[in-house]
Structure 1
């Protein structure tokens, strides 16, 4: 009995010892996990770069400059599904107690990103790896008249975008990347043939816009071809023999591969695709269309709002802005109704004073100079990256909107504001101040450059990412005009209201087209009745919404939330409210889903209240 007791006591001691060791090892494991969450973030960013090599190039990672992901291929999509699922399982091992609040916020952004992308890959119509602004693509409708890879490749090939052409290796990398592009175009035709069989095809009006875009790539003489622009602009240090060898390689590729492939695509669109393209405009007319649009709303707004709720919010905002427009019309002294005032603004010759595209660029540069003295009152952090304004390239100008392309992470390549000027004599400048605030400073240039230059953020948060945050910030930036010394001309303030109206209308027409059965013509008419944009501009915009469902919702939804949070902070903090610190709080964590942004600002308000 004594032996048994001693044996039992011995076993109990050993058990306690093992328990103590286990606790100690558990603590070490928890500490290791705390240290390794940054490694998970690094692994995720490595995956994102390999999944989207063009985005890696945009961010300045040159090791990916020679490839394009065939993101619509079945094998590639299956690989992405496996990776997103694996990362989500890995993240479940972590909790808030293991890391800093900044790391926890980054983890929750990563979890959102993995989850929403996986949902897209599992949707019957959508695929999630498009190199264009991290937007989703339609697997069976992979080419569009706007925000489409074949147009973006042309930008890269011009040598005036993010693809570098500084070394012999750069020139070789581009030809290798184009070989992948040939495979992608072959897959596009295959997928569009599948789409024909399944009755998942683009609207006819979209196809009719795509066909002329191909003509410049097909008909331009080799010597003047857009893809030969890097050959016409060799670096000075290239030897004559290197120049000759590279030029011959580019001529051979264009004449024997690229141009024949564009001819094949052109024939396919004209002869096989256009005759069966649909007459309807929205997703609701496609198989699984309603479910797909519901998903795209969630993706682009990071909310659970329904199409109906967004539609009604849009109509409410339209009515509010119409009231403000009426006040500006009366201030100017115009005697007609608001619709007549829209036409008056569209046709005013003093608002179309330019005879050369360079004058439009100069006007934007002058706007920057006027607002510069006031910026320090609202922002105490500035990007390192430079900034420039450029005209949109001719091959995509007719269907393009103004846009911003970030500079490189190391600030060696400037951020670029592209402005389309298709017809210089009819270019109307009445909204240029608001447009500059949105696309340039303090809109996209500040937000995106500060985001990718922020060394405290995991690198996966450096690229553009969530549109509702990115575009919401840019639209909020438009509202800062009076505080920054702009909008002194009532017409420029009306221009700001017009741009806000444009985004409010998007809530109505995007949901109208894709959830309520609106036709293209109904959407155009609604826009014409409620904003001062030209008919040509409105048509291009409506066709953009037809091509990229849900994306246009992000602007107003994001802006309203940021403005709501600012008002909440101003009211709660009173004299302690610091506008510069509020802007820092919004901008210093990367692109956030709106629920995460709201939690962050509420926590900041609480901390400031307790000081």
Structure 2
């Protein structure tokens, strides 16, 4: 109900903005026009948070911590479309000629996001709401762990999440009804993905206080409560888990196993769905922020794989190794001389040494460094087995540091070869710089400070991997080969993602292509390919974004000559936060025009 009330108020605000913005623009009204845009951008952010309360919690907007809309329902999607349409109408009343360059970026990003959001609602992804990689049941488990974005500091915090647990039971019933509709209309997941969801759901359905992640907050009850209040809260919270969470996950698991799995499809690609070809074209546009066709992306991927394989051959030969690339891949996977660590502390110290080594040169390559503190930590034991190395951004006010998390199960099996390139991508100058500078820039409207566009964010982080030699890294050929391994992995994605979703490639065919072109295990390749099957198009964004940034750097290095300053280029690249690649191209051209 609260979401509905907030949204109706926002629609009224949008209507008023239409009236305000449809006045004739004059030079003297430029400031008023900019104020209208700022107001509209803030109202859009507020509307987005109301519609997406889980994201609001992630952003630190805690007024929605007890809400969990049934975001896969037809009524919710109609409400979203109505809200987006209202903002589109208001946006049309703004005279773009009166806007500053920064405000024009805001306008263009709002225009694109509203259009993409509305187009996305015309497809039927809500009929496939559960998969093994990312879906609400898995996100809710993370939030309910007690160590994620959902606060668990007060009794009220616990009550908020109890309300979310209750609402999840409603979401579950809708998910099952939607999947029944999907079975009837041909919108179903591949069998190989359904199989992976069943043990996930089964684990979350167990009354297991030691291992079921939902019981985690009971180990950290608020210290402000006395023992009687703690006991009462523990009993209330446990009852909520057992009333809403365990039965919901059990119901989902039973449905997936008994009803959905027999009806699941044998094909791997999304193009086998009724509107799958059009949906994949939309996903490419959405994830990559380009107009590239699947054929163009596939050809580009093959070209990049061939180029990087040549570099791999040369690097392999520089080590004195006499065999072919497949044999060298096996060496990279298994050779004990590449495993030099005995303790987790030694691994963390080695990452710290990378930071210390590159920072003098980083300070020359970047004029503006983040204020947000930075830390390197070992991933907590409870999630290390299923976690990848990752960067978790700090708070916008700098009170919580950005953290580079490294999962270490057995330090003696941890290879050093990928460490330098991983640090450049996830930490410095990759995600830590990009995320922190974006959040710290209070000249951006909130929807831009907290937005994420993969083609830009992941493209930039992948670009950072290529800076290794300039930063004094990759002097060891095995470390450089580790960088090439990560780079070809992103190029392979262009081939296998398009292959799966437009060319009839099977899961097994894609796994084999990946294993033929990089030193990856069968288990790792399978998990990767199934990820691309679950979220088509997402994996395309990395390489396409990186190539665009390289294209821009090469273009302006050549055009500006001695006037080109890399630190100025990087500062301009980062200062406006995540932007679509077309907007990035426009703003970098505007920057270049001021450098002569």
Question: What TM-score do the two structures reach when normalised by structure 1?
Answer: 0.89
Partner SS, residue 404 of structure 2: strand
Q: Aligned match of 1:215 in 179, 202, 213?
A: 202
Once the 2 structures are TM-superposed, how far is the Cα of residue 228 of structure 1 from its aligned partner?
Answer: 2.1
Partner SS, residue 467 of structure 2: coil
Once the 2 structures are TM-superposed, how far is the Cα of residue 359 of structure 1 from its aligned partner?
Answer: 5.2
The reply on whether 1:317 has 2:341 as its aligned counterpart is no
CA distance in 1, matches of 2:512, 2:345: 33
Distance 1:436-1:183 versus aligned 2 partners, 3 A rule: farther
Once the 2 structures are TM-superposed, how far is the Cα of residue 529 of structure 1 from its aligned partner?
Answer: 0.8
For 1:153-232, what aligned pairs fall within 5 Å after superposition?
A: 153-219=140-206, 221-222=208-209, 224-232=211-219
Q: Relative to structure 2, which stretch is displaced further, 240-249 or 310-319?
A: 240-249
Partner SS, residue 261 of structure 1: helix
Residues 380-427 of structure 1: per-residue CA shift (max 9 Å, x gap): 322233334455677876665443332222223333434455676644
The corresponding residue for 1:343 is 330
CA distance in 1, matches of 2:275, 2:210: 47
Residues 344-382 of structure 1: per-residue CA shift (max 9 Å, x gap): 111111233456656554543443333233321122322
The corresponding residue for 1:603 is 590
Residues 195-233 of structure 1: per-residue CA shift (max 9 Å, x gap): 111121111111111111223323352255322222212
Q: What is the root-mean-square deviation of aligned Cα atoms in Å?
A: 2.3
Distance 1:420-1:512 versus aligned 2 partners, 3 A rule: farther
CA distance in 2, matches of 1:71, 1:24: 39
The corresponding residue for 1:145 is 132
Distance 1:352-1:403 versus aligned 2 partners, 3 A rule: same
Distance 1:418-1:191 versus aligned 2 partners, 3 A rule: farther
Once the 2 structures are TM-superposed, how far is the Cα of residue 235 of structure 1 from its aligned partner?
Answer: 4.0
Distance 1:384-1:165 versus aligned 2 partners, 3 A rule: farther
CA distance in 1, matches of 2:508, 2:382: 26
The corresponding residue for 2:514 is 527
Distance 1:149-1:414 versus aligned 2 partners, 3 A rule: farther
For 1:445-460, what aligned pairs fall within 5 Å after superposition?
A: 445-460=432-447
Partner SS, residue 391 of structure 2: strand
CA distance in 1, matches of 2:91, 2:406: 42
8 Å Cα contact 1:464/1:470 also seen in 2:
no
CA distance in 2, matches of 1:151, 1:397: 16
CA distance in 2, matches of 1:587, 1:490: 31
For 1:131-530, what aligned pairs fall within 5 Å after superposition?
A: 138-219=125-206, 221-222=208-209, 224-354=211-341, 360-390=347-377, 401-421=388-408, 426-530=413-517
Distance 1:485-1:168 versus aligned 2 partners, 3 A rule: farther
Partner SS, residue 337 of structure 2: helix
8 Å Cα contact 2:391/2:432 also seen in 1:
yes
Once the 2 structures are TM-superposed, how far is the Cα of residue 498 of structure 1 from its aligned partner?
Answer: 0.6
8 Å Cα contact 2:166/2:240 also seen in 1:
no
Partner SS, residue 237 of structure 1: coil
8 Å Cα contact 2:158/2:237 also seen in 1:
no
The corresponding residue for 2:563 is 576
CA distance in 1, matches of 2:368, 2:25: 43
Once the 2 structures are TM-superposed, how far is the Cα of residue 152 of structure 1 from its aligned partner?
Answer: 1.7
The corresponding residue for 1:133 is none
Question: What TM-score do the two structures reach when normalised by structure 2?
Answer: 0.91
Partner SS, residue 121 of structure 2: helix
8 Å Cα contact 2:165/2:244 also seen in 1:
no
Residues 306-341 of structure 1: per-residue CA shift (max 9 Å, x gap): 000100000000000011111110111111011111
Partner SS, residue 404 of structure 1: strand
8 Å Cα contact 2:25/2:95 also seen in 1:
no
The corresponding residue for 2:70 is 70
CA distance in 2, matches of 1:313, 1:284: 21
The corresponding residue for 1:113 is 113
Once the 2 structures are TM-superposed, how far is the Cα of residue 145 of structure 1 from its aligned partner?
Answer: 0.9
The corresponding residue for 1:34 is 34
CA distance in 2, matches of 1:216, 1:359: 34
Partner SS, residue 365 of structure 2: coil
CA distance in 1, matches of 2:574, 2:93: 29
Residues 249-272 of structure 1: per-residue CA shift (max 9 Å, x gap): 111112222112111111111111
Distance 1:157-1:360 versus aligned 2 partners, 3 A rule: farther
Distance 1:561-1:359 versus aligned 2 partners, 3 A rule: same
CA distance in 1, matches of 2:471, 2:418: 16
Note the residue ranges of structure 2 that are not aligned, 5 or more in a row.
1-22
Distance 1:543-1:426 versus aligned 2 partners, 3 A rule: farther
Partner SS, residue 205 of structure 2: helix
The corresponding residue for 1:54 is 54
CA distance in 2, matches of 1:475, 1:62: 33
Partner SS, residue 200 of structure 2: helix
CA distance in 2, matches of 1:381, 1:414: 18
The reply on whether 1:84 has 2:71 as its aligned counterpart is no
CA distance in 2, matches of 1:388, 1:191: 43
Larger radius of gyration: 1
CA distance in 1, matches of 2:200, 2:380: 12
CA distance in 2, matches of 1:109, 1:570: 27
Q: Relative to structure 2, which stretch is displaced further, 75-84 or 485-494?
A: 485-494
Partner SS, residue 501 of structure 1: helix
Distance 1:602-1:477 versus aligned 2 partners, 3 A rule: same
The corresponding residue for 1:6 is none
Once the 2 structures are TM-superposed, how far is the Cα of residue 71 of structure 1 from its aligned partner?
Answer: 1.5
8 Å Cα contact 2:268/2:507 also seen in 1:
yes
Residues 460-494 of structure 1: per-residue CA shift (max 9 Å, x gap): 10124211111101101111112222222211111
